[in-house]
């Protein structure tokens, strides 16, 4: 019932980019018995994890020159001629988006904002920023996977594998240096190799098929034991607070996968008269008319909005 209203982008203008909205959100956070955070790619973008522009050019200018794509997303779907080149791209991509810290402290400030509240995080992001910022890992549900995990590409079994050590070896083999703070550095005068040694290519320990990233990009995605445990914890959290004052705080969720966070948050708010829905986004903060009187929509930079909540 919400789809038509969403397509019309029904909003409450009095709350749009307005100081009143910030004060209302402060009050909603303070009064909430529980906060459910729904985070999309826009939150990580606000933290500086951009997939194009200077950050892409810094680490992938050689791939851009050779293949013509100008962002990491396209590079991730490119059909490389060899697995050595495939893993050269993906190891760089994984390292900077999973093992390096975000350039801006948006996640740290969000953690500080909710640390004393009863919260749970549902996110489609795969960059591990919540855990690095100190969020309780048992209050996190990464629905779409994790850059830090490999799985069998077939897949022959439902298990995932930590990839930090092998990813580090791959980026070092291309000429990069890992600094003490975790940043990736290419020494001056060094041209990075666009392939890794063949003996670093990861293979499944069971069927010996190539490994792949544990990312939900097709029907081979592995939902391992940890994934199912997190799903149950999220379900139990919602059930235990179903009739309480719940703030559904949506951060940077776009239109690509509305069925994971946006639509459910609207539905949960609609079914609970004590719930409040808040949406922070850059130019895409809106709510359907059914819950408009209990919605707080703020368009703008999420990092700057979070700063104003202290």
Question: What confidence tens digit (pLDDT) does each residue in 151-181 have?
Answer: 999 999 999 999 999 999 999 999 999 999 9
Same domain, 189 and 284: no
Q: List C-alpha distances in Å: 199 to 110, 173, 203, 205, 258.
A: 41, 11, 10, 14, 41
Angle between helices 83-94 and 164-173 (to 10 degrees): 110
Same domain, 171 and 287: no
Best CA proximity match to 280, nearest among 264, 293, 261: 261
Q: List C-alpha distances in Å: 70 to 11, 63, 101, 250.
A: 34, 9, 22, 29
Contact 24, 277 (CB under 8 A): no
Q: Do the domain assignments include residue 259?
A: yes
Same domain, 247 and 286: yes
Same domain, 81 and 195: yes
Same domain, 185 and 232: no
CA atoms within 13 A on the CB side of 118: 12
For the chain, which ranges sit under pLDDT 70? 1-18
Give me the residues paired with residue 151 across strands.
160, 212
Q: What is the CA radius of gyration of the chain?
A: 21
Q: Do the domain assignments include residue 233?
A: yes
- Give the pair of three-digit tokens for residue 183: 């940043």
Same domain, 267 and 241: yes
Same domain, 36 and 67: no
Q: Do the domain assignments include residue 32?
A: yes
Same domain, 37 and 110: yes
Q: What's the pLDDT score for residue 19?
A: 78
Q: What's the pLDDT score for residue 309?
A: 96
Same domain, 238 and 302: yes
Q: In which region does residue 179 sit, left (phi positive, over 0), alpha (psi from -120 to 50) or beta (all else)?
A: beta
Same domain, 31 and 113: yes
C-beta neighbour count of 229 within 10 angstroms: 12
Domain CATH code at residue 231: 3.40.50.1220
Q: How many domains does the chain have?
A: 2
Same domain, 278 and 195: no
- Give the pair of three-digit tokens for residue 144: 């779409």
Q: Do the domain assignments include residue 42?
A: yes
Q: Do the domain assignments include residue 73?
A: yes
Please tell me whether the peptide bond between 3 and the residue prior to it is cis, using omega within 30 degrees of 0: no
If you count them, how many residues does the chain have?
310
Same domain, 127 and 194: no
Q: In terms of residue numbers, what domain contains 78?
A: 54-101+164-201
Torsion angle, CA of 253/258/260/262, rounded to 10 degrees? 60
Q: What angle do CA 293, 297, 300 make, to 5 degrees?
A: 165
178 Cβ contact partners less than 8 Å away, ≥ 6 residues apart: 168, 171, 172, 184, 185
**The model's pTM:** 0.93
Q: What's the pLDDT score for residue 256?
A: 86
Q: How far apart are CA 280 and CA 303, in angstroms?
A: 10
Q: How far apart are CA 229 and CA 168, in angstroms?
A: 28
DSSP for 14-70 reads: GGTT-HHHHHHHHHHHHH-SEEEEEE-HHHHHHTT--SBTHHHHHHHHHHHHHH---
What are the DSSP E strand ranges found in the chain? 34-39, 119-123, 140-142, 145-152, 160-162, 177-178, 184-185, 211-215, 246-251, 276-281, 295-299
Q: Do the domain assignments include residue 80?
A: yes
Q: Do the domain assignments include residue 150?
A: no
Q: Do the domain assignments include residue 158?
A: no
């Amino acid at each position: 019932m919400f789809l038509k209203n969403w397509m019309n982008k029904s909003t409450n203008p009095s709350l749009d980019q307005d100081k009143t909205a910030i004060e209302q959100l402060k009050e909603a956070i303070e009064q909430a018995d529980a906060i459910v955070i729904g985070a999309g790619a826009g939150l990580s973008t606000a933290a500086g994890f951009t997939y194009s522009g200077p950050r892409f050019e810094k680490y992938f200018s050689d791939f851009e020159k050779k293949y013509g794509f100008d962002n990491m997303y396209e590079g991730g779907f490119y059909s490389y001629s060899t697995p050595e080149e495939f893993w050269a791209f993906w190891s760089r991509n994984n390292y900077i988006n999973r093992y390096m810290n975000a350039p801006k402290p948006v996640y740290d400030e969000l953690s500080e904002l909710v640390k004393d509240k009863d919260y749970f995080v549902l996110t489609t992001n795969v960059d591990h920023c919540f855990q690095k910022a100190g969020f309780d890992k048992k209050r996190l549900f990464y629905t779409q996977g994790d850059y830090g995990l490999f799985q069998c590409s077939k897949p022959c079994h439902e298990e995932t594998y930590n990839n930090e050590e092998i990813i580090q070896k791959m980026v070092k083999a291309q000429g990069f240096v890992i600094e003490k703070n975790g940043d990736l550095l290419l020494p001056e005068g060094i041209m990075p190799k666009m392939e890794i040694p063949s003996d670093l290519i990861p293979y499944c320990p069971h069927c010996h098929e190539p490994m792949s990233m544990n990312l939900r990009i097709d029907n081979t995605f592995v939902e391992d034991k940890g994934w199912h445990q997190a799903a149950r914890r999220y379900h139990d959290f919602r059930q235990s607070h179903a009739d309480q004052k719940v703030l559904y705080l949506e951060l940077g969720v776009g239109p690509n996968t509305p069925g994971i966070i946006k639509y459910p948050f609207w539905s949960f708010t609609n079914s609970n008269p004590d719930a409040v829905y808040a949406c922070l986004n850059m130019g895409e903060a809106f709510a359907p008319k059914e819950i408009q009187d209990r919605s707080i929509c703020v368009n703008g930079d999420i990092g700057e909005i979070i700063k104003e909540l202290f």
